[in-house]
């Protein structure tokens, strides 16, 4: 296989909404490059990039595929990303790795939510973008509306390079404003014929050509001066200005196509190899500590692993970008995350699910390898003596969650192993076992995302499993002081058990002075502090313990056992079995037995005394509250606000963002169940949101009553 130098490589992220035709566009590009003699079809499950069984089942991309095609002595690496928002991680990965973004718009639907999301990701990464209006052969195609929306919703700097002479079933020609020719096709897959622009199109072509020249001139001050002086630019000056504007994200060129018929695809490929940047023409990558690493084949070798897949007879296949230097077969590299040596025995270039060996690979190229011991997605491999470590790819936070359990208890360990493997293949799919909730929790981008993982478990891994509602990580605390005593006494032959503890539970407040005494209706307690311990709880909040025992009523050696007993209740609260936070406990009296007292006795006495006091201290259940930012079309704000009000949301802010409104609200986690599905329904799929933990707050009395009742019923049934 041919090895390409850095300057001859183009890395393209193929993104857009589901149904925009990305996969067929990728297929056609490979076909145009001569690597296949027949193009596959999504419906026939024989495309190069959608090669996994789950993608055949759903007939859309689930994972980002890597493929390539030669064109005009250049190599175009194509990262074909999913368009469905539930699989947004694939688009994020593709845009992060690529040097140019190819954003495909469906001319039937205009600018859809998937296209807008991809645009934002490209904007965040400051990647140049080519727009392609596809499906122009469809009877409901609307080119003018799509271009209008692209300029309104994406950028006013969208510039037409082509426009169709006609659309719908008669689409067979475009006017190319760079060539100032009409490109016409006779049949599917034929090369376009260059023809003079018809008289009926000349005025429109001249007008749009003038706009293109103006956009190119604005990208460079000297070109602008030349344009003002002469009123035009030469062909060379036009191309130079177009290239500068494109690389600087001042021009977003727009092309026309019917990928299904292979109309316009080759012209797009010409633009990619002639105008889109080679990897070494992009800004240098930065390491986590800010070092710049230029894409230089003469520099030390470094790789960034951006994707992992698992194959039955092969194991993990790791996809990488050569960030610098030159990679050769059997090269030893250092994993910077693990500080272990890895030998890259084989190097592959990828054509979807197929791999071909190459002996070496230059900086900027994309490839894969197998049989690495410790390397995972997000890891950096470098030559020995180089300490570069590239930043992880940042993915959107999960928006949907559920618990899962194997139908057969004996499969639980196997299920966990498979779920973690699925996370390696899709980092936006998160899995963890919550000791607090005693559940395996799955988190993803939406209900369809999680259901797809369930399909893989059922059909690929043959592990029957079921979704169950995820419990909410409630907390409990107290709102007033209360005291209790508990005597643990056990006599059953031989050594007995005896321990008695008197203690007070009260709320912890930051900066509150140490207690000196308490007055209860049935008892007044004066305190002398003998010892104090503060604990920052793993689940948040504080626990402060005071030893105020005088006169030797309880030996100080038993205090750790009492604390241990209290911690058992802090981890399994009296009301709901949740974690307890922000309490102070004062042990002020008790009794010992000279023979029968031991640590177990005082642990049990401390635990039960705390339980009794806690119940009398007006306990409150706290619920996690999240800050939710919702981006919705302004026309849907009323419906979204009404829905939020049913979820006990506190609306904090609204701000305009073009034709969208961003709503910021604080919403209890318990009310966010399946919100992604509800928001999609309310906004026809255009609404998006993010959420992050904010704080814990007391639940309303009616909610607390319901939770306690539910726990009592569960305990009664166990």
Question: Could you read off the pLDDT of 416-436 as tens digits, one per residue?
Answer: 999 999 999 999 999 999 988
Measured between alpha carbons, how far is 2 from 349 in angstroms, rounded to an integer?
A: 10
Average pLDDT rounded to a whole number, residues 500-517: 96
Strands 285-286 and 252-256, sheet pairing: unpaired
Read off the pLDDT band of 229 (50, 70, 90). confident
- pLDDT tens string 13-50: 999 999 999 999 999 999 999 999 889 888 888 999 88
Q: What is the DSSP string of 365-396?
A: -EEEEE--SS--TT-EEE-TT----PPPPP-P
pLDDT of residue 708: 85
pLDDT of residue 156: 94
Taking CA 508 as the corner, what is the angle to CA 504 and CA 514, rounded to the nearest 5 degrees? 70
pLDDT of residue 253: 98
- Looking at the chain, the whole-number percentage of residues with pLDDT higher than 70 is 99
- pLDDT tens string 141-175: 999 999 999 999 999 999 999 999 999 999 999 99
The token duo for 166 is: 């006609």
Measured between alpha carbons, how far is 706 from 155 in angstroms, rounded to an integer?
A: 51
The DSSP code for 284 is P
Q: Determine whether domain 291-382 maps to CATH 3.40.50.300.
A: no
- pLDDT tens string 627-655: 999 999 999 999 999 999 999 999 999 99
pLDDT of residue 273: 97
Strands 292-293 and 340-344, sheet pairing: unpaired
Q: Determine whether domain 622-703 maps to CATH 1.10.10.10.
A: no
Query: Considering only CA atoms, which of 540, 541, 594, 535 is closest in space to residue 564?
Result: 535
Q: Do 476-618 and 291-382 fall under one CATH topology?
A: no
Work out whether the CA dihedral 48, 54, 58, 60 comes out positive or negative: negative
Placement of tokens 């260059």 in the chain: 194
**For the chain, which residues make up each domain, given as ranges?**
8-198+250-281, 291-382, 400-471, 476-618, 622-703
- pLDDT tens string 613-628: 999 999 999 999 999 9
The token duo for 143 is: 């080119």
Measured between alpha carbons, how far is 253 from 161 in angstroms, rounded to an integer?
A: 6
pLDDT of residue 484: 97
Average pLDDT rounded to a whole number, residues 253-271: 96
- pLDDT tens string 567-626: 999 999 888 889 999 999 999 999 999 888 999 999 999 999 999 999 999 999 999 999
318: three-class secondary structure by DSSP: strand
- pLDDT tens string 325-345: 999 999 999 999 999 999 999
pLDDT of residue 124: 95
Average pLDDT rounded to a whole number, residues 60-89: 95
Residue 293 makes CB contacts below 8 A (sequence gap 6+) with 284, 285, 286, 287, 299, 302, 323, 324, 388, 390
CATH-assigned architecture of domain 476-618: 2-Layer Sandwich (3.30)
Q: What is the DSSP string of 485-547?
A: EEEEEE-SSSS-EEEEEEEEEEE--TTPPPP-EEEETTEEEE----EEEEEE-TTSSEEEEEE
Read off the pLDDT band of 57 (50, 70, 90). confident
Q: In terms of pLDDT, which residue wins out, 715 or 13? A: 13
Work out the angle between the directed axes of helices 412-425 and 447-459 (0-180°, nearest 10). 120
Looking at the DSSP assignment, which residues form a beta bridge with residue 350? 355
pLDDT of residue 714: 66
- pLDDT tens string 342-378: 999 999 999 999 999 999 999 999 999 999 999 999 9
Average pLDDT rounded to a whole number, residues 95-99: 98
pLDDT of residue 493: 65
Average pLDDT rounded to a whole number, residues 537-565: 95
Domain 8-198+250-281 in CATH: superfamily? P-loop containing nucleotide triphosphate hydrolases (3.40.50.300)
Measured between alpha carbons, how far is 157 from 253 in angstroms, rounded to an integer?
A: 9
- Phi and psi torsions of 545, nearest 5°: -115, 130
Read off the pLDDT band of 715 (50, 70, 90). low
- pLDDT tens string 448-475: 999 999 999 999 999 999 999 999 999 9
Q: Is the pLDDT of residue 247 over 80?
A: yes
Measured between alpha carbons, how far is 689 from 700 in angstroms, rounded to an integer?
A: 26
Domain 400-471 in CATH: superfamily? Elongation Factor G (Translational Gtpase), domain 3 (3.30.70.870)
The token duo for 448 is: 């369809």
């Amino acid at each position: 296989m041919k090895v390409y130098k850095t300057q001859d490589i183009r890395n393209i992220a193929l993104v857009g909404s589901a149904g925009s035709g990305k996969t067929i566009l990728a297929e056609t590009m490979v076909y145009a490059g001569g690597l296949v003699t027949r193009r596959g079809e999504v419906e026939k499950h024989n495309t190069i990039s959608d090669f996994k069984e789950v993608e055949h089942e759903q007939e859309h991309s689930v994972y980002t595929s890597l493929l390539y095609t030669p064109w005009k002595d250049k190599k175009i690496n194509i990262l074909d990303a999913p368009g469905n928002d539930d699989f947004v991680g694939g688009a994020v990965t593709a845009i992060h790795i690529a040097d140019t973004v190819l954003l495909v718009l469906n001319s039937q639907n205009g600018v859809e939510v998937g296209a807008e999301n991809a645009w934002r990701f490209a904007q965040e990464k400051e990647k140049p973008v080519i727009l392609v209006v596809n499906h122009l052969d469809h009877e409901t195609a609307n080119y003018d509306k799509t271009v209008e929306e692209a300029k309104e919703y994406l950028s006013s700097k969208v510039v037409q390079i082509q426009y169709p002479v006609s659309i719908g079933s008669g689409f067979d020609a475009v006017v190319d404003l760079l060539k100032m020719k009409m490109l016409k096709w006779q049949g599917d897959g034929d090369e376009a014929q260059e023809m003079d622009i018809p008289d009926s199109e000349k005025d429109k072509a001249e007008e749009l050509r003038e706009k293109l020249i103006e956009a190119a001139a604005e990208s460079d001050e000297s070109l602008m001066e030349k344009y003002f002086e002469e009123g035009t630019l030469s062909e060379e000056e036009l191309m130079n200005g177009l290239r500068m504007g494109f690389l600087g994200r001042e021009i977003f060129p727009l092309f026309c196509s019917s990928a299904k018929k292979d109309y316009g695809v080759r012209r797009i490929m010409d633009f990619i190899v002639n105008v889109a940047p080679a990897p070494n023409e992009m800004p240098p990558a930065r390491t986590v500590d800010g070092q710049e690493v230029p894409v230089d084949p003469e520099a030390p070798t470094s790789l960034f692993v951006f994707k992992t897949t698992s194959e039955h007879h092969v194991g993990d296949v790791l996809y990488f970008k050569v960030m610098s230097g030159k990679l050769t077969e059997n090269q030893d590299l250092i994993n910077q995350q693990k500080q272990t040596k890895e030998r890259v025995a084989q190097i592959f270039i990828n054509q979807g699910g197929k791999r071909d060996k190459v002996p070496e690979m230059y900086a900027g190229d994309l490839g894969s390898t197998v049989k690495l011991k410790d390397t995972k997605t997000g890891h950096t491999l470098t030559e020995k003596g180089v300490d570069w470590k590239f930043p992880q790819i940042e993915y959107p936070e999960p928006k949907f969650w559920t618990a899962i359990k194997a139908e057969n208890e004996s499969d639980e360990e196997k299920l966990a192993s498979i779920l973690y493997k699925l996370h390696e293949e899709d980092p936006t799919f998160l899995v963890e076992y919550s000791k607090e909730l005693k559940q395996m929790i799955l988190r993803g981008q939406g209900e369809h995302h999680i259901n797809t993982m369930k399909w893989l478990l059922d059909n690929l891994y043959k592990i029957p499993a079921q979704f169950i509602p995820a419990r909410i990580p409630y907390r409990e605390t107290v709102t007033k002081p209360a005291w209790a005593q508990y005597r643990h006494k056990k006599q059953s032959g031989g050594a007995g058990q005896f321990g008695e503890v008197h203690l007070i539970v009260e709320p912890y407040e930051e900066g509150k002075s140490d207690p000196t005494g308490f007055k209860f209706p049935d008892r007044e307690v004066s305190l002398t502090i003998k010892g104090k311990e503060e604990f920052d709880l793993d689940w948040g909040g504080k626990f402060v313990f005071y030893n105020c025992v005088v006169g030797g009523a309880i030996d100080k050696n038993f205090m750790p056992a009492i604390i241990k007993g209290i911690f058992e209740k802090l981890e399994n609260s009296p009301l709901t079995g949740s974690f307890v936070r922000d309490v102070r406990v004062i042990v002020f009296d008790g009794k010992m037995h000279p023979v029968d007292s031991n640590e177990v006795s005082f642990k049990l006495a401390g635990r039960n005394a705390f339980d009794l006091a806690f119940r009398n201290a007006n306990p409150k259940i706290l619920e996690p509250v999240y800050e939710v930012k919702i981006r919705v079309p302004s026309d849907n704000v009323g419906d979204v606000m009404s829905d939020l009000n049913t979820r006990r949301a506190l609306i904090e802010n609204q701000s305009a963002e073009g034709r969208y409104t961003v709503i910021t609200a604080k919403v209890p986690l318990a009310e966010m169940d399946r919100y992604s599905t509800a928001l999609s329904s309310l906004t026809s799929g255009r609404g998006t949101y993010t959420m992050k933990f904010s704080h814990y707050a007391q639940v309303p009395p009616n909610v607390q009553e319901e939770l306690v009742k539910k726990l009592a019923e569960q305990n009664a049934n166990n």
